[in-house]
């Protein structure tokens, strides 16, 4: 599927300013949509929106289907009559430039419990009808997830493999027993999920009305400590006790002599194929009910993935194993139609991966920070771009462009200056212009680069266990000239959409 020529900004909602403790789906999110529209930007790209666990990574969630409760806006709850106005009178003092997840959780989760009690006592009939409809239509994942989270709370947050045997193994009688025992907590979890999806869809509709579409992110793997693995053990390589026998990783390379040991459980693709890939069809259907375009993280794993025996301390002793290839995507396409998907094809990419991407018609990614320091034939250099791709100045895993440039070797800096014919003093905007002027159909810029921020604003450092995912911007950092520059570039380089272009590419069954 070809995308219209357009551009957008990468910013996870947690990085939005002003709301207490963490960016959320309230007024500042709507203000950000207005900024995107006034800056001529068609896309708002976000990271995975699921409920985060240990480490706060959106790529390690308790569910592949659920939303993150921390993104629920308390202000919206008051506006919608789901919290009393005095509920926000005593807000703790949170830092404004960083998310302190521990403190946010300690304040916000009791607030959501209070909202649930208020909803039960004061919610309107129409709200309660919508809630019940949500519980029914989403039961295929919501029931297991709500019980899973209730069990985690009951057992002090421990991983599901430490629970009593019967419920750990998801035995039907135990599921029934615990569902009855924990019914109120389960209903609370369902309610919080309803809040998230109500608020997100309200924001998405507002964005659509202003010509802005959402790009979401779908990680290939799921976390071991998740409702997905606990409720569907037959879909993963687990032993009789429910422990992984093999896990995901990346082989040794130039950047890491021991590779990367991710630790995610690996799929039983043979079982999934026998079932017509229904779990994946449901997953794609769900995410396209939330966003308009999907970026698949680690796309190369669908062609072949690095399998490491469980218990290894590094990823060295792994092997390549064939993935499902086109069969999975053909099953998804048969069920849902032709979907707007971006393939994250960074890293060790083989001709077989490229062939799969091209056979499926997915645009790949070109990252400008990876383009310099080599030869003129590097595919990420702008003169080698193709229309059917997505160009980024950098991603959530990269340093900011300012931080990257100032830490780059002198010969790389020299290459950048000579290639762009610039002196490097305004490197973030030099990169933005290079991305916007590219022939790539889609250009995406992290918000940190719009603000020309340094390494202090980096979102994630792969391999670093702490201090990731915390960055937030402040409105005073955003100047009118930055909005005007984006709008001017969108106009100059043909990324302002015509009426004919401005169609919802996700219309159809996937967005029903």
Residue whose tokens read 């490491």 = 308
b or e along 419-450 (b: 16 or more beta carbons within 10 Å of the residue's beta carbon)?
bbebeeeebbbbbbbbbbbbbbbbbbbbbbbb
Phi first, then psi: give them for residue 267, nearest 5 degrees: -75, 145
Q: How many CB atoms lie within 10 A of CB 209?
A: 10
Cα–Cα distance for residue pair 261/266, rounded to 1 Å: 13
Element (H, E) at 414: helix 410-420
Cα–Cα distance for residue pair 260/253, rounded to 1 Å: 9
Active site residue 217: no
Cα–Cα distance for residue pair 208/153, rounded to 1 Å: 37
Active site residue 352: no
In the DSSP assignment, the letter for residue 26 is S
In the DSSP assignment, the letter for residue 469 is S
> Left if phi > 0, otherwise alpha if psi is -120 to 50, otherwise beta: which for 97?
alpha
CB 135 within 8 A of CB 190: yes
In the DSSP assignment, the letter for residue 9 is E
CB 288 within 8 A of CB 338: no
Task: Give the predicted TM-score (pTM) of the model.
Answer: 0.95
Considering only CA atoms, which of 363, 362, 290, 222 is closest in space to residue 13? 290
Catalytic residue among 56, 198, 225, 297: 297
CB 249 within 8 A of CB 79: no
Cα–Cα distance for residue pair 218/329, rounded to 1 Å: 14
Quote the pLDDT of residue 180: 98
Catalytic residue among 228, 344, 441, 449: 344
Quote the pLDDT of residue 497: 63
Considering only CA atoms, which of 150, 89, 84, 147 is closest in space to residue 121? 84
Quote the pLDDT of residue 391: 98
Cα–Cα distance for residue pair 235/233, rounded to 1 Å: 5
Quote the pLDDT of residue 120: 97
Residue whose tokens read 């390379």 = 253
Strands lying side by side in the sheet with 293-297:
341-343, 293-297, 213-219, 43-45, 6-10, 442-446, 389-392, 364-367
Catalytic residue among 18, 113, 397, 482: 397
Quote the pLDDT of residue 348: 82
Active site residue 488: no
Torsion of CA 105, 110, 113, 119, to 10 degrees: -110
Sign (positive or negative) of CA dihedral 259, 264, 265, 271: negative
CB 19 within 8 A of CB 28: yes
In the DSSP assignment, the letter for residue 497 is P
Cβ-based neighbours of 190, under 8 Å, separated by 6 or more:
131, 134, 135, 142, 146
Torsion of CA 375, 439, 344, 293, to 10 degrees: 170
Q: List, for residues 78-135, the tens digit of each pLDDT value.
A: 999 999 999 999 999 999 999 999 999 999 999 999 999 999 999 999 999 999 999 9
Q: How many CB atoms lie within 10 A of CB 201?
A: 13
- Give 98's strand partners: 471
Q: For the chain, list residues with pLDDT below 50.
A: 498-500, 502-512
Quote the pLDDT of residue 253: 80
């Amino acid at each position: 599927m070809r995308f219209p020529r357009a551009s957008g900004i990468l910013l996870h909602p947690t990085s939005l300013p002003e709301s207490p403790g963490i960016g959320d789906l309230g007024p500042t999110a709507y203000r950000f949509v207005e900024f995107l529209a006034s800056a001529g930007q068609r896309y708002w790209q976000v990271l995975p929106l699921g409920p985060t666990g240990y480490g706060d990574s959106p790529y390690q969630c308790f569910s592949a289907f659920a939303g993150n409760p921390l993104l629920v806006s308390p202000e919206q709850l008051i506006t919608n009559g789901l919290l009393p106005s005095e509920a926000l009178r005593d807000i703790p003092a949170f830092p404004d430039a960083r998310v302190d997840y521990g403190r946010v959780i300690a304040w916000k989760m009791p607030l959501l419990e209070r909202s649930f009690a208020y909803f039960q006592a004061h919610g309107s009939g129409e709200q309660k009808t919508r809630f019940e409809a949500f519980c029914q239509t989403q039961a295929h994942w919501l029931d297991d997830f709500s019980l899973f989270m209730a069990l985690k709370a009951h057992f002090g947050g421990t991983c599901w493999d430490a629970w009593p045997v019967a419920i750990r193994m998801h035995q039907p009688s135990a599921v029934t027993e615990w569902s009855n025992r924990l019914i109120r907590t389960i209903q609370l979890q369902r309610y919080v999920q309803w809040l998230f999806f109500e608020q997100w869809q309200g924001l998405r509709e507002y964005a659509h009305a202003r010509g802005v579409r959402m790009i979401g992110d779908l990680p290939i793997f799921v976390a071991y400590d998740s409702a997905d693995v606990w409720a569907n053990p037959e879909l993963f390589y687990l032993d009789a006790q429910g422990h992984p026998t093999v896990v995901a990783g990346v082989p040794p390379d130039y950047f890491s002599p021991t590779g990367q040991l991710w630790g995610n459980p690996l799929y039983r693709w043979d079982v999934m194929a026998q079932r017509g890939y229904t779990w994946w069809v449901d997953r794609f259907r769900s995410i396209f009910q939330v966003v308009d375009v999907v970026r698949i993280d680690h796309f190369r794993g669908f062609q072949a993935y690095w399998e490491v025996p469980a218990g290894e301390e590094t990823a060295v002793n792994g092997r390549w194993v064939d993935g499902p290839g086109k069969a999975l995507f053909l099953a998804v396409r048969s069920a849902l139609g032709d979907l707007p998907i971006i393939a994250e094809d960074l890293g060790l990419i083989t001709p077989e991966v490229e062939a799969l991407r091209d056979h499926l018609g997915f645009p790949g990614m070109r990252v400008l920070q990876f383009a310099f320091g080599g030869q003129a034939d590097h595919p990420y250099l702008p003169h080698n771009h193709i229309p059917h791709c997505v160009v980024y100045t950098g991603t959530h895993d990269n340093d900011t462009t300012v931080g990257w440039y100032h830490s780059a070797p002198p010969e790389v800096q020299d290459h950048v200056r000579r290639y762009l014919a610039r002196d490097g003093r305004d490197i973030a905007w030099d990169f933005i212009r290079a991305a916007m002027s590219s022939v790539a159909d889609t250009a995406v810029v992290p918000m940190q680069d719009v603000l020309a921020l340094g390494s202090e604003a980096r979102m994630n450092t792969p391999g670093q266990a702490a201090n990731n995912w915390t960055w937030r911007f402040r409105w005073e950092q955003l100047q009118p000239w930055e909005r005007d520059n984006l709008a001017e570039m969108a106009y100059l380089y043909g990324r302002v959409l015509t009426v004919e272009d401005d169609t919802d590419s996700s219309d159809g069954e996937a967005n029903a």
